[in-house]
Amino acid sequence: MLEIIKDWQQIATQSRDNKWPIVVMIDQEDCPFCRRVEGEFFAAIFASGEFRDRALFGKMSINAGDSVLDQDGRPVLVESFLSDLNTNFTPTILFLDADKTELTEKMVGLSTPDFYGFYLERAIKKSINALS
């Protein structure tokens, strides 16, 4: 479903070139709420096609030892890469520009499942508008 982001430099270039936000789900291996957010809410968003060619989507795992290529192409631990974004709780959804600046407020946890899809779509739209 959501592709794992392994190269931030690559996705940041796509974001800049297209003026698209980067929607990142922060997850963990043993997080049932993460599986639900991805399998239910992101699945519905992808099925609708509403944000195709308007935003980039991916996920990063804060499992011990997982790494990503940073904006300079250097491998760093995901926790270090995300350290300035306060993502210690999963799932967390970030809405970022190419410089890792938050475009709208992050979504932390799955506190309101009945309205989660609505809040997620609204946040994606806000992040798209922030780059327009």
User: For residue 20, what is the domain's CATH number?
Assistant: 3.40.30.10
Residues 42 and 6: beta-carbon distance below 8 Å: no
Cα–Cα distance, 105 to 39 (Å, whole number): 22
Q: Is residue 1 part of a domain?
A: no
Residue matched to tokens 């270039």: 13
Q: Is residue 22 part of a domain?
A: yes
pLDDT of residue 32: 95
Number of domains forming the structure of the chain: 1
Q: Is residue 3 part of a domain?
A: no
Q: Is residue 49 part of a domain?
A: yes
pLDDT of residue 111: 83
- 69, β-bridge pairs: 7, 75
Q: Is residue 77 part of a domain?
A: yes
Structure tokens at 62: 């804060």
pLDDT of residue 66: 87
Q: In terms of residue numbers, what domain contains 82? A: 8-131
Q: Does the structure show a pLDDT above 80 at 64?
A: no
Cα–Cα distance, 127 to 93 (Å, whole number): 12
